[in-house]
A and B are shown apart, each in its own frame.
Chain A
Amino acid sequence: MRPSRYNISTENTETSELLVFNAMYGSSAVVAPTAKHEAQSILSGQCGTDSMMINEFSRLGFLVDDQLDELSILKARKNAGIKDSNRLDVILMPNMDCSFACPYCYEKHDRRNHLSSETKESILKWMERVIPGHKVMKLTWFGGEPLLSADEVVEITRAIQGICEAHQVILLRSITTNGYHLSKNLIQRLIDVGVLNYQITVDGPPEIHNQTRILRSGKGSFDRIFQNIQDLTRADARARVSMRVNFNHRNIHTIPELLELFPSDIRHQLRVVFEPIFGTDALSATENLSPETISKTIGGYYERADSQGYDIQHGGMGVGKLVYCYAEREDQFIVDYKGDVFKCSVGSFSSDERIGRISQPGELQYEEGRWRQWFGMNEFEAKCEECVFLPLCMGGCRRNRLDNRRTGSYCALVPANTSYVLKSVAFGTFNEILRSESKILRNCANGRQSAQGCNSCHNQNSITP
């Protein structure tokens, strides 16, 4: 037996306990101070004497067979994710137009860039071809601002719903919108076609939000979005809003004030998501705030939001992730208003970057060279193969690997953004995440097991507090 290459351990300086986590299978355990040195010896590949501890560590995946090739298992996971035909992900962009002019937006908008009726028909014909054979379809509306094409959103969603029902495919629907155009009438139309999941950005209380979420005229948008979110959540108890706050050094301190504003009766329908503004310029959170400040502050805000009745997603460190992001899956497509098909939702969406296009009869015509280039990479970069976080990350941003030969500008950020625990990985040290995770897990662990005993030799990945 030898230690798994994906063990991460740290000492809790308050209790002197040793926390051990295996990123490969998500197991974690606390070793009492009295047994800490024995555990460290076993996990560092030196001979231990406690056979029960060795057996337990083996059961938990902290120790593995000498011949086990863990990297090959991760490569197999990744390929299973890439080839997974159970799910179909389609992001539709009915326009590349927007009513907002947010200073941090990377898109280029034009009022003329809207879906034509011919392209709409082609997309629906393609849907008829591509949906059968899958078990679940995830339809996401994106833009531009998709609700500037509200009629198309409603009509196409209804049509796709019909296709899915005819082929017994479960349809999941969501929309990313600035929230400005959600009139009561439109809310009802969207609910009628099953669009119940919304992502809407609110960057802070009014005076802050109105500096970044601005209309093309320069006017602020807070009051209207604030009201629309309330109208939406009260229109249907099933409606859920991922309320996203894009933060940097200018607004991070205003988040508590924002959280106070929403009425308590709708907070359980609001999932708060705090996202750093990336980049290298003056607006960047990561350029202007230390990782420790971000980790500590945002972690505290999630706890505050939780205590105030908001929905926050606990846990979820990315254990068992198959691919870095959906763009690594073969059955994932972003289709814009021209019928051009892309993989990644960050980019200029110019036709020369497309990986294919939907033809008039509804066929996806691949740009073979680009498709091959996108999927022709090794599963992981060499440096990732040595990284203890690889099972939680699965190799970094494919686009960045392709364009810049890098795994992402923020490789230190273990890539999954669904929980504040994971934010601790991203911005802090693993010591913090294990403390947070153990705090959560201690509260809900049902069966605690113990072991005493010994024998074996190994290699430990340790992050010192």
Chain B
Amino acid sequence: MNTPVTVLMEPLSESDILAETMPDANAADVAATLETKAQSCVDHLCGCD
């Protein structure tokens, strides 16, 4: 039987989202987040990331 709702992406949790800022955050995890998470602006040609 076909299921009516197919989950494509599970929700993040609030603790997932704030993990990089936590005092007990692991440095390597912070670095990995910094390198992968979108945090750029698109307004400018500055190339900031």
Could you tell me which A residues sit within 8 Å of B by CB distance? 22, 25-32, 34-35, 38-39, 50, 53, 56-57, 59-61, 73, 77, 80-81, 83-84, 86-87, 104-106, 135-136, 138, 142, 168-170, 172, 174, 176, 199, 242, 244, 246, 275, 277-278, 316-327, 345-346, 397, 400, 408-410, 413, 415-419, 422, 426, 437-438, 441-442, 445, 447-452
- The answer to whether B8 and A321 have CB atoms under 8 Å apart is no
A255, chain B: closest CB distance, angstroms: 17
- The answer to whether B4 and A445 have CB atoms under 8 Å apart is no
Of A26, A30, A346, the contact of B12 (CB 8 Å cutoff): A26
What sequence of 0s and 1s flags, for each residue 18-49 of chain B, a beta carbon within 8 Å of any chain A beta carbon?
10111001011011001111111111111111
- The answer to whether A346 and B46 have CB atoms under 8 Å apart is yes
Separation of A50 and B21 alpha carbons in the complex (Å)? 39
- The answer to whether A172 and B35 have CB atoms under 8 Å apart is yes
- The answer to whether A104 and B45 have CB atoms under 8 Å apart is yes
Knowing that A346-B44, A400-B43 touch, tell me 6 more A-B residue pairs with CB under 8 angstroms: A138-B34, A320-B16, A325-B40, A416-B42, A450-B5, A452-B5
- The answer to whether B45 and A136 have CB atoms under 8 Å apart is no
- The answer to whether B4 and A53 have CB atoms under 8 Å apart is yes
- The answer to whether A417 and B40 have CB atoms under 8 Å apart is yes
- The answer to whether A29 and B6 have CB atoms under 8 Å apart is yes
Dominant secondary structure of chain A at its interface with chain B: loop
- The answer to whether B7 and A80 have CB atoms under 8 Å apart is no
Could you tell me which B residues sit within 8 Å of A by CB distance? 2-14, 16-18, 20-22, 25, 27-28, 30-31, 34-49
Within 8 Å CB of A326, what residues of B?
39, 48
Separation of A450 and B7 alpha carbons in the complex (Å)? 7
- The answer to whether B27 and A25 have CB atoms under 8 Å apart is no
Query: Given A86-B25, A87-B30, A320-B17, A325–B41 Cβ distance below 8 Å?
Result: yes
Within 8 Å CB of B48, what residues of A?
325-327, 345
- The answer to whether B7 and A422 have CB atoms under 8 Å apart is no
Chain A to chain B contacts (Cβ below 8 Å), 25 pairs: A26-B12, A30-B5, A32-B6, A35-B4, A84-B20, A84-B21, A86-B22, A106-B45, A172-B31, A317-B38, A319-B12, A320-B12, A321-B37, A321-B38, A322-B17, A322-B18, A323-B39, A415-B41, A441-B9, A442-B8, A445-B7, A449-B3, A449-B6, A450-B3, A450-B7
Separation of A454 and B26 alpha carbons in the complex (Å)? 42
Separation of A237 and B8 alpha carbons in the complex (Å)? 34
B29, chain A: closest CB distance, angstroms: 9
- The answer to whether A28 and B30 have CB atoms under 8 Å apart is no
Of B8, B21, B30, B45, the contact of A80 (CB 8 Å cutoff): B21
A132, chain B: closest CB distance, angstroms: 13
Within 8 Å CB of A176, what residues of B?
47
Of A105, A136, A418, A437, the contact of B40 (CB 8 Å cutoff): A418
Separation of A418 and B35 alpha carbons in the complex (Å)? 11
Query: Given A26-B12, A32-B2, A84-B21, A321–B45 Cβ distance below 8 Å?
Result: no
